[in-house]
Amino acid sequence: MVRIRAPTDKWPNAQLFPADPPSHIYYGIVPDLGFTWPFVDPTVPPERKADAFVDWVSEYNTPPPDGTPITVESMHKYFTTTPRTPTLRTLSPEEYELTVELNVRSGGLIMTTNEAIRRRHARCTYFDADAVLPNVDIVFLFCEEGTWSGMWGTKVVQDFIEVAADPGKKKRKVTFQGLKNASHFIC
């Protein structure tokens, strides 16, 4: 999840803009970590893929312990699905329709763009702070019990922002905050 915090004295109507950060959607980085997801999992029959995705995208998982770096090894060692009911299975039909429809429209449109475009926009967001909203910091919230792709998205951004900005460009301030007991849809 990314939230953009704008100074209220300059933008009194500014809001927080949430988004969950799977690396393949927002940063154009498709990981091969030895994990899968329902739409590409060969063990999930085609007729069950959509339903299995509902569970997967809102399930709860055990994260690496506090202080453990997010690595392929730590994720394989600690990251397992818990028996807790997936969030989307707890919503009323009305809540489900609102939640899923909004996410499918926004995430679906982003996924149809070229990965190079997503990488370019991510780079501009973090490394060209003077171009747009120069006084805005990023508070990067991530769900500690969300999907493996969201957890890896956090790692991708942590690594991504370690690079220095290009000469003449201003790097945006980024703070990371994990949300305990939160899955993809609790955020």
Rounded-to-integer distance, Cα 152 and Cα 144, Å: 11
List, for residues 45-100, the tens digit of each pLDDT value. 989 988 898 898 889 999 889 889 888 899 899 989 999 999 889 989 888 877 77
Residue 9 zone, left/alpha/beta (φ > 0; ψ -120 to 50; rest): alpha
Give me the DSSP letters along 52-115: HHHHHHH--BPPPPTT----HHHHHHH--B-SSPPGGGGS-HHHHHHHHHHHHHHHHHHHTS-H
pLDDT given for residue 84 in this prediction: 93
Contact assessment for residue 100 and residue 88, using Cβ atoms and an 8 Å cutoff:
yes
pLDDT given for residue 148 in this prediction: 86
pLDDT given for residue 61 in this prediction: 92
CB within 8 A of 88, min separation 6: which ones?
A: 54, 55, 57, 58, 96, 99, 100, 185
pLDDT given for residue 33 in this prediction: 83
Residue 5, pLDDT above cutoff 50:
no
pLDDT given for residue 7 in this prediction: 45
List, for residues 104-138, the tens digit of each pLDDT value. 555 555 666 677 887 788 888 888 888 888 888 88
Closest listed residue to residue 21, CA positions, set 96, 165, 118, 120:
118
Predicted TM-score of the model (pTM): 0.73
